[in-house]
Amino acid sequence: MTYALLLIAIVAEVIATSALAKSNGFTILVPSLVSALGYAFAFYLLSLVTKTVPVGIVYAVWSGAGIVLVALAGWLIFGQKMDLPALIGLALIIAGVLTINLLSKTVSH
């Protein structure tokens, strides 16, 4: 259940960040509300996850997965281009998140 909550928090953060890009500096109501509510929901879920998983691990997974998924959304939804160094950086983030989850004894499975 803990990792399901973390996954939902990640999705909420990606939606909130994508809406933030459309809020025009919080001047457009609907994307601004989606962004604010999405972040609030994501942080609430993160607070629940940190009851059972160390905060450093939670934040590393949440932010790392969020970075990769927001970059993917930027590419697919907003038509943003990524060069080779950006792709390499994203691959390193994915490797870090996988290392934490699959190999670290800090994470309880």
62-85 residue pLDDT tens: 999 999 999 999 999 999 999 999
Distances from the Cα of 73 to the Cα of 1, 29, 100, 109, angstroms: 26, 21, 24, 29
pLDDT value, residue 106: 74
pLDDT value, residue 56: 87
Residue ranges of the domains in the chain? Answer: 2-103
pLDDT value, residue 108: 58
pLDDT value, residue 107: 63
Round to whole Å and give the CA distance between 33 and 31.
5
Exposed, middle or buried, 81 (CB in 10 Å: 0-12/13-18/19+)? exposed
pLDDT value, residue 103: 85
Question: pTM here?
Answer: 0.86
- Identify the segments of the chain with pLDDT beneath 70: 107-109
Q: Tokens 């990524």: give the residue.
A: 82
